[in-house]
């Protein structure tokens, strides 16, 4: 099983001719739908084929009811802390020329407590893979990884979003971290004293990238996602069965919306590790690339997550 501890948001999206300036009122097309990195990753893990638990905090409102209904539809076992705060929201303005402005209302997500996570000990302990992100309180997700370590689960930290500082203790609890280029640059700055331009990362030599990853997470596996280029993986000393580092090329996709590509990648990777312990991590990363590539061919985040059968039909073996 996969257990995801993380956020649920109701995304409200307005697409207008331009982004509103201060004091300006515009009309635009509106849509709303489920989001939040935790929920997106749980949906991806479930549709990729893994029995999935999702631990989160929800308000007693329409957003909370939506989360419950959608988790049920996808067969996800939901373990929600009921909060007095409203269910998390994101207000997203998209200008037709591209670009966006986003305000997140963490609401109930910010109320998730280590005590509630601790009460889900049995759920976390039966998972083969436990996944956390940084849209939930750090003490709560740290508690989740501590329980997972005690139970011998594979611990995946998706260090997103990039503007949340990752404490050294949390980083040390991870077996696998999955930063995108921006997040990798932020982690290197904070934990390895290295200032690197995020846009230059994909062009670094493999040995240089590997050395940076080793300084960041000496004991564990670092997977840097590189957008359309796929990902780079650097293994800690303990994995002796694979090359120490590799690039796993991305799949060619007709991308129309890359929102949630990272979430698709993380959920699919977690499912793949949970379902195929005999498979090499590099094969699992290939599946995660394919899964995420297909998610970019559909609009939206959680609603864009494909099934394993759709990935198979699109990309074959
Ligand atoms: P994030 O969405 O967190 O910024 P990335 O942009 O690195 O993360 O994308 C995550 C993964 O999604 C990549 O490793 C890749 O597998 C896949 N992906 C993203 N964009 C594309 C694309 N345009 N074509 C194919 N695959 C993509």
Residue 222 pLDDT: 97
Give just the sign of the alpha carbon dihedral 71, 72, 76, 81.
positive
Q: Is the ipTM of this complex over 0.90?
A: yes
Q: Which of 154, 188, 170, 14 shows the shortest CA–CA distance to 92?
A: 14
Query: Binding residue per annotation — 282?
Result: no
Q: How far apart are CA 312 and CA 317, in angstroms?
A: 6
Residue whose tokens read 């949906």: 43
Ligand 1 mutation pick, 228, 290, 298, 300, max ligand atoms within 8 A of CB: 228
Question: Looking at the DSSP assignment, which residues form a beta bridge with residue 178?
Answer: none
- For residue 226, the Cα-to-chain-centroid distance in whole angstroms is 14
Query: Binding residue per annotation — 226?
Result: yes
Buried b (16+ CB within 10 A) or exposed e, 136-165: bbbebbbbbbbbbeebebbbbbbbbbbeee
Alpha-helix runs per DSSP H in the chain: 37-47, 62-73, 114-119, 121-125, 138-151, 168-172, 181-192, 206-216, 261-275, 281-295, 308-315
Q: Kindly indicate whether the domain formed by 2-7+35-88+109-315 is annotated with CATH number 3.40.1190.20.
A: yes
Kindly give the pairing relationship between strand 231-234 and strand 245-248: antiparallel
Chunked mean pLDDT (size 10), the chain, 317 residues: 98 93 94 96 98 98 98 98 97 84 95 98 98 98 98 98 97 98 98 95 95 95 97 79 86 90 98 89 95 94 95 89
Residue 257 pLDDT: 85
Element (H, E) at 224: strand 221-225
Domain positions in the chain? 2-7+35-88+109-315
Residue 239 pLDDT: 53
Tell how far the Cα of 121 is from the centroid of ligand 1, in angstroms: 32
- For ligand 1, which residues put their CB under 6 angstroms from it? 180, 225-228, 230-231, 250-251, 253, 255, 258, 261-262, 265, 289, 292-293, 296
Q: Which of 44, 55, 54, 51 shows the shortest CA–CA distance to 269?
A: 44
Residue 278 pLDDT: 76
pTM: 0.96
CA dist 191 to 59, 145, 155, 175, 222, Å? Answer: 35, 19, 19, 16, 14
Residue 243 pLDDT: 74
Query: Binding residue per annotation — 11?
Result: yes
Residue 97 pLDDT: 75
Cβ partners under 8 Å of residue 147, min gap 6: 117, 118, 121, 124, 125, 130
CB 107 within 8 A of CB 87: yes
Give catalytic residue positions. 263
Residue pLDDT, tens place only, 243-270: 789 999 999 999 988 889 999 999 999 9
Residue pLDDT, tens place only, 171-197: 999 999 999 999 999 999 999 999 999
Q: How far apart are CA 33 and CA 64, in angstroms?
A: 12
Of all atoms in ligand 1, which is nearest to the CA of residue 288?
16
CB neighbours (10 Å) of residue 232? 24
């Amino acid at each position: 099983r996969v257990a995801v501890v993380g956020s649920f948001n109701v995304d409200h999206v307005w697409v207008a001719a331009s982004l509103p300036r201060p004091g300006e009122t515009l009309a635009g097309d509106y849509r709303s739908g489920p989001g939040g990195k935790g929920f997106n990753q749980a949906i991806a893990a479930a549709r990729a084929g893994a029995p999935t638990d999702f631990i989160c905090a929800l308000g007693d409102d329409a957003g909370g009811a939506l989360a419950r209904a959608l988790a049920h539809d996808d067969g996800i076992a939901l373990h929600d802390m009921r909060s007095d705060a409203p269910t998390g929201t994101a207000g997203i303005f998209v200008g037709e020329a591209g670009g966006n402005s986003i305000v997140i209302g963490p609401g109930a997500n910010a109320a998730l407590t280590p005590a509630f996570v601790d009460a889900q000990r049995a759920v976390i302990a039966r998972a083969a893979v436990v996944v956390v992100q940084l849209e939930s309180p750090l003490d709560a997700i740290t508690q989740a990884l501590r329980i997972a370590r005690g139970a011998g689960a594979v611990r995946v930290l998706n260090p997103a979003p990039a503007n949340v500082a990752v404490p050294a203790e949390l980083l040390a609890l991870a077996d696998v971290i999955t930063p995108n280029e921006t997040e990798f640059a932020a982690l290197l700055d904070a934990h390895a004293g290295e200032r690197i331009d995020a846009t230059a990362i994909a062009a670094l030599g493999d040995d240089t990238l590997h050395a940076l990853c080793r300084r960041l997470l000496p004991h564990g596996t670092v997977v840097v996602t590189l957008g359309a280029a796929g990902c780079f993986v650097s293994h800690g000393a303990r994995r002796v069965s694979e090359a120490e580092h590799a690039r796993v090329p991305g799949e060619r996709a007709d991308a129309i919306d890359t929102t949630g590509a990272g979430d698709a990648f993380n959920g699919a990777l977690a499912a793949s590790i949970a379902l195929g312990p005999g498979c090499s991590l590099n094969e699992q990363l290939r599946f995660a690339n394919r899964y995420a590539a297909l998610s970019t061919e559909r609009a939206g985040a959680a609603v864009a997550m494909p099934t394993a059968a759709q990935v198979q039909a699109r990309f074959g073996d």
